[in-house]
Structure 1
Amino acid sequence: MPAELHDEHHDPFEERFADALRDTGTTFATDQQELAAGGQARGRRLRARRRAAVAGGVAAVALIGVGGALVLPGVQGDGGRQRSVAGGRSSGQEDSAASGSAGSGASGVSGDELLRTFEKLLPEGKLSDTTGRGTADNPFVQGVYDDGRGKAAIALSLGLVQPGSQEAAQTTECPDRVYIAYDSCTGTKLSDGSALMILKGYEYPNKRSGTKLWRAELVTPTGAHVSAQEWNAAAEKDSPVTRAEPPLSAEQLKKLVAAPEWRAAAGAIPVDPRMTAAPSATTAHHGSIPATLARLIPNGVKVVSRSRSDDYEFGYVVVDDGRGKSLVQINVQPDMRDVEGELFGAGTRTLPDGTKVVRRKQGGEKGIAGIVMWTVDTIRPDGRRVVISAFNSGAQNTPATRQAPALTMKQLEAIATDQKWLKIG
């Protein structure tokens, strides 16, 4: 794997993100500046995605785009500390919490305080190996929970999103099954206007380990984002399955993330000034990625489905040339000159207009039988990067249905170098 870009700050969030990229095993990522236009999560995501541009992995990034917060800091013990969880709430704290608003500048909340709230809100059981971080720096809590029916990792994080933004909407939108396998997903509006998504899925997109991952994503009208995740194992990765399902039911997950205490804590998260800045006049878009990609598919190849929402940096279509479905996905990034050297090395060709092109053929997702991915990566002199990949299956997490992708390398390059991409973004 190519070396990651240097980042002087050690960030477990980014390490988990890199793990997700390696698990997915693909080769490009989004910067998604508009999608992540606010909140403390914005900086983390942009750094992680910039790294991902070198390390690889569009699918893992796409999951964040279509399914909310995928990555939490890894479960790490604090020396085996165990606590009794009695459930229920203290009425005084609940009353004061209800008055909090996201990013209101309230006094900070420590990691220990968040842990106490976490323990109080969980159903009766034992919580061990706990760790937490306060609102001053990407707040989260996590631990190993045991209700007597098997140990399970459980975690919760807090963040801010800009109310009414595309990021806020996509955080609680059920993910696309082209990229992630799950058993069920529901999206609802609560009585206070908060959006809630509950997804019952798996740690790996292809279900390969049997480890289940259930999560709840809640975004309030004021932009507080509460994300809870639980597994049916004592750790999210590389740990034996300890129970048939994660411990909290959908209703219990809803109750956990909707607790007013978290909204009060979100009010103490420092606000990124970019969240409230007026939109720049240069952010106007001229068409969407999925629609443009569909128009560029060669004659004789039928588009049978495409991305559900209009995104201005990422999109996909599923095509069929009469010999089986084939997933084609594309990403457009406005300026990637800072990582050009890592992305375009050996095997790079330079076209007459200065566009650099590199072609790659490699295996697709780990654990998926016979799947291959063909990629054409391009960067123009102004740093605009267009990278396109095609698979020999109609989804990235299903077995191969044909020997090769429906589009040739020559066709993929023609799409990636088309002038229409200069008008996007």
Structure 2
Amino acid sequence: MPVEQHSDPFEERLSAGLRDTGAVFETDRAALVTAGALKGRRRLLRRRAAVAGGAASLALVGLGGALLLPGSGSPDRDESSVGTSSPSATAPTPTRAPSPVSGDELIRTLEGLLPEGKFSQAEARGTSEEPGPYVHLVYDDGKGAAAIGVSLGRVEPGSDEARQVTQCPGKIYYHYDACTRTRLPDGSVVMVLQGYEYPDRRVDTKWWNAELVTPEGQHVSVSEWNAAAEKDAPTTRAEPPLSAGQLKKLAAAKPWRDAIDAMPEDTARPSTQPSESTPVSTAAARTTLKSLLPRGIKAISDDSGDDPGFGYLVLDDGKGKSLVQVNVQGDMSDVAGDLFGADSETLADGTKVAVRKGPGDKGGSGVVMWTVDTMRSDGRRVVVSAFNSGAQDTAATRATPALTIAQLRAIALSPKWWS
């Protein structure tokens, strides 16, 4: 079965990232909210698309028999201690690059890490194959078949991407039951999310996911479903087979890191993100947004984290909840022509301003979205949007957003974004 590119619109908007959001703003303004709002999580579901075949995760009910991979140590090593062991006093000097790990080896490794059960529909791609290694199978512990898989890759250590991968999404934009973020003793960070295949829960398929990034940039993504396939399959059990703790341990299993080390270096991948797409400000966007609110309006929710490029608040002026979100971007000059048409305004200092009003979703719930989009002469962009609802996918709670166009404009043009 070929790798399945996840077709969920939510995921596709996430994986596009902020720059793509800017480019298509005119054709799908609501995408700004979804993709921008989850800038910190824009790769969470992207990983699912890359994982292959309809299931992407590992199962682990007690990290039992781990199989030996090149450089992974003894087959009977206690994988539950991953991330807790101390480095040896004298680290061995590698004499050669690790040997490639085949897809068959990855399948055997996954089966060895899972508790006793039946396996079927196994498929994998090795470390020397494009576009990257993954393993997927259907696992049945006697309580119902479940799709499980893992994908492996690298991120630049210390980069924005490395941080984003392990951030929990805000529930304003993505509905889930639980999400935790933990730092392991070895410095690795792992996020475990217990959510649903479709954020709107149109079906009962649950999707539980663990994302782990090591200090060296090794990235392990595991997922499981309570069905034998990611989509278009009936649920077979109430929940996926592995608990949140088991998913976390599985993501930390050493064989996956060894396999990542065996991957060839991606010379085409830039070592750092291009500076022109990085927000100039280092302050949390939600903090700046909150400081710019008019008097009399209070924020009742501001859990969008410390991302300098995106933040949101849920406001309440006594007339109903209103979601407000902001995207802050670096040099976006290359898409200025797409964003600012003949109806836009150019200020004396060269700043372009566009105002848009329209539907806030495509579901006919009465939600409206008001947006003020600004771009400085050097390409720095601030986009502020407000809704007449506390979330984009809930019914309208008021006739208009809590902030007027004039207030949104003042927020977007504030110099605080670049201080």
Give deviations 1:214-256, integer Å, cap 9, x for gaps.
0112222322121111122333344433332122222432332
The aligned counterpart of 1:65 is 40
In the TM superposition, residue 113 of structure 1 has moved relative to its aligned partner by: 3.7
2:255 aligned counterpart, secondary structure: helix
1:415 aligned counterpart, secondary structure: helix
In the TM superposition, residue 323 of structure 1 has moved relative to its aligned partner by: 0.9
Q: 2:107 aligns with which of 115, 124, 132?
A: 115
Structure number with bigger Rg:
2
The aligned counterpart of 1:410 is 406
In the TM superposition, residue 339 of structure 1 has moved relative to its aligned partner by: 2.8
In the TM superposition, residue 390 of structure 1 has moved relative to its aligned partner by: 1.2
1:255 aligned counterpart, secondary structure: helix
Contact 1:330 1:389 in 2 (8 A): yes
- Give the residue type in structure 1 aligned to 2:18: T
In the TM superposition, residue 95 of structure 1 has moved relative to its aligned partner by: 0.4
Contact 1:376 1:389 in 2 (8 A): yes
1:340 and 1:300 map into 2 onto residues whose CA distance is: 35
Contact 1:100 1:265 in 2 (8 A): no
User: Structure 1 residues 304 and 261 mapped into 2: Cα distance closer, same or farther (>3 Å)?
Assistant: same
User: Structure 1 residues 66 and 90 mapped into 2: Cα distance closer, same or farther (>3 Å)?
Assistant: closer
The aligned counterpart of 1:375 is 371
- TM normalised by structure 2 equals 0.75
User: Structure 1 residues 255 and 381 mapped into 2: Cα distance closer, same or farther (>3 Å)?
Assistant: same
User: Structure 1 residues 310 and 146 mapped into 2: Cα distance closer, same or farther (>3 Å)?
Assistant: same
CA RMSD for the aligned pairs?
4.0
2:212 aligned counterpart, secondary structure: strand
Contact 2:120 2:137 in 1 (8 A): yes
Q: 1:30 aligns with which of 15, 18, 31?
A: 18
The aligned counterpart of 1:16 is 6
Identify unmatched segments of 5+ residues in structure 2. 55-63, 76-81, 83-90
In the TM superposition, residue 51 of structure 1 has moved relative to its aligned partner by: 6.5
Contact 2:3 2:53 in 1 (8 A): no
The aligned counterpart of 2:390 is 394
Contact 2:132 2:152 in 1 (8 A): yes
Q: 1:178 aligns with which of 169, 172, 177?
A: 172
Contact 1:374 1:405 in 2 (8 A): yes
1:289 and 1:12 map into 2 onto residues whose CA distance is: 36
Give deviations 1:8-64, integer Å, cap 9, x for gaps.
xxx979x5387325689xxx9524xxxxxxxxxxxxxxxx66776676344245435
User: Structure 1 residues 140 and 22 mapped into 2: Cα distance closer, same or farther (>3 Å)?
Assistant: closer
- Give the residue type in structure 1 aligned to 2:171: R
Identify unmatched segments of 5+ residues in structure 1. 1-10, 32-47, 78-86
User: Is 1:301 the counterpart of 2:289 in the alignment?
Assistant: no
Contact 1:378 1:416 in 2 (8 A): yes
Correspondences of 1:193-342 after superposition (within 5 Å):
193-269=187-263, 270=265, 274-275=270-271, 285=281, 287-342=283-338
Q: Percent identity?
A: 49
1:308 and 1:109 map into 2 onto residues whose CA distance is: 39
- Give the residue type in structure 1 aligned to 2:121: S
User: Is 1:89 the counterpart of 2:66 in the alignment?
Assistant: yes
- Give the residue type in structure 2 aligned to 1:89: A
User: Structure 1 residues 210 and 202 mapped into 2: Cα distance closer, same or farther (>3 Å)?
Assistant: same
Equivalent residue pairs, number: 380
1:313 and 1:381 map into 2 onto residues whose CA distance is: 19
User: Is 1:76 the counterpart of 2:66 in the alignment?
Assistant: no
Q: 2:119 aligns with which of 121, 126, 149?
A: 126
User: Is 1:159 the counterpart of 2:137 in the alignment?
Assistant: no
2:73 aligned counterpart, secondary structure: helix
Contact 2:191 2:211 in 1 (8 A): yes
